[in-house]
A and B are shown apart, each in its own frame.
Chain A
Amino acid sequence: MNENQIRDLLPAYLEGELTEKDKLLVEEYLSSHPIMQEELKALRQTWEILGELPPIEPHSNFVSRFWTELSLRRSWHEKVYESLRHIMASGRWVPGMVTACILVIVGVIAIRNYQGIYSSDSSTAPMAKAVDLPQDITAQTEQKETIEVAVGLPSQEPAVMVTAAVPEAISEDEQSIAEAMDVMEDMELLEDMELVENFDILEDIELLEDLEYIEEIDDAETQT
């Protein structure tokens, strides 16, 4: 082995990383070469001098600063997820679930009570709007009612008053539906009225035509 090869092996020799064979070769060379011994000594001292570099100390509250910085960077859903995960992992989810269920039940009861209170404060008058019907149909229904009463039939509520009996506890949704139904029934009634009127008109027309026909026949007979 030559001088350069030995020199290249010196760092590994210092580390104790050489094979037994190479270690013996280096030591044999060193024993007869003082200059190489000085190089080995310099390498050893270099490695030791590095230890003179003093360490620095972290900030005294680096732990709390870390948690603070971490907290600032986490999104809200990460924080919620982390909290839930911590609760589940720690086994404390059972009382939490029980508490949550109790709160839900209490909330439902409170909402239902609130709805009940709200509904009881409302007017008990019929919620359906009265529809202005033509006078004729009103008169007809009253007449019909009178007849039914006269013959002992159970009087029926007039069509316009179908929504008179309204339960006290009714929600706004039900009220809206009832109003809509009233309007639809009124519309159907109007359509029926129109049909009746048209039918009456048709009957009148036919009657008139019949009358004209009768007159024509009479005239014809008179002439004859």
Chain B
Amino acid sequence: MASDTLFEGSSAYFDDPDIQLMLEFQQGNKASFEKLLVKYFPRVLNFIYRYLGNKEVAEDLTQEVFIKVFQNASSYHPTAKLQTWLFTIAKNMSLNELRRMKKPIISMEEPVRSGTTETEELTRQIEDVHAVNPHKVMVKEERTAVIRQAIESLPENQRTAVLLRRYENFSYEEIAQTMNLSVEAVKSLLNRAKVNLKESLAPLLKNL
């Protein structure tokens, strides 16, 4: 067991079982790393998939995340929960890939405006369908597509905050550590993201 005085201010995290597995791996126990791999691979995969919207790319990047974890294990210091470190790597890789793919993204300062996003276009198509069959219930795949589009229309930071809060149940502090922001900044991001999502998902809200 690693010394509690090894890393300043990190003794609180040594109770984290994931950190224990990581420390065991640092000592050469590959079985411990595999336990972490089995536990976090699906979570990181879904985070990246929801971020980028492409399953194949998400699988490749997820593998890259864990390869990076494996290769940089010796430099890992338990100053935060392991998942914080893990998702920081995943977030950075996703952001790099997003910029590489040169997807049209909305800037951090620019709000989602009606009539200028793909979501709005999709909304109009849905309304046209309802005009023909007003009692038709939207199929599940269509709802999923609308939700995915709503998330992808968010600015980078809002998207990250929403995915970590809604799907990974990160606390505000954990999100702040992952994104290198203050807790107040994270709360503000989430508030704006929810307002934007409410506008994007308005067609689905009408069907409730």
Q: Mark A6-34, 1 if CB is under 8 A from B, else 0.
A: 00100110110100000000000000000
Query: Which residues of B (184-201) have their CB < 8 Å from a CB of A?
Result: 187, 190-191, 194-195, 197-198, 201
Contact of A52 with B67 in the complex, beta carbons under 8 Å: no
Please tell me the size bucket of the interface on A: 20 to 34
B173 close to chain A: CB less than 8 A? no
Which residues of B pack against A, CB within 8 Å?
27-30, 34, 37-38, 41-42, 45-46, 49-50, 55, 58-59, 62-63, 66-67, 70, 140, 143-144, 147-148, 151, 162, 166-167, 172, 187, 190-191, 194-195, 197-198, 201, 204-205, 208
Contact of A63 with B34 in the complex, beta carbons under 8 Å: yes
A89 to B27, CA, bound (A): 7
Q: Could you say which residues of chain B place their CB within 8 Å of the CB of A45?
A: 205, 208
A12 to B186, CA, bound (A): 11
Q: Please pick, from A46, A51, A58, A85, the residue contacting B45 in the complex, using a CB distance under 8 A.
A: A58
Listed by A's residue number, 24 A-B pairs whose Cβ atoms lie within 8 Å are A8-B191, A12-B187, A14-B194, A43-B195, A46-B205, A47-B166, A47-B197, A50-B166, A50-B167, A53-B151, A55-B46, A56-B45, A56-B46, A58-B41, A58-B42, A58-B59, A62-B41, A63-B37, A63-B38, A66-B37, A66-B66, A69-B67, A86-B30, A88-B28
Shortest CB-to-CB span from A81 to chain B, Å, is 11
Q: Could you say which residues of chain B place their CB within 8 Å of the CB of A58?
A: 41-42, 45, 59, 62
Most chain-B Cβ atoms within 10 A of its Cβ — which of A11, A46, A57, A62? A46
Main secondary structure of the interface of A (DSSP, over half): helix
A90-B28 CB under 8 A given contacts A52-B144, A58-B42, A63-B34: yes
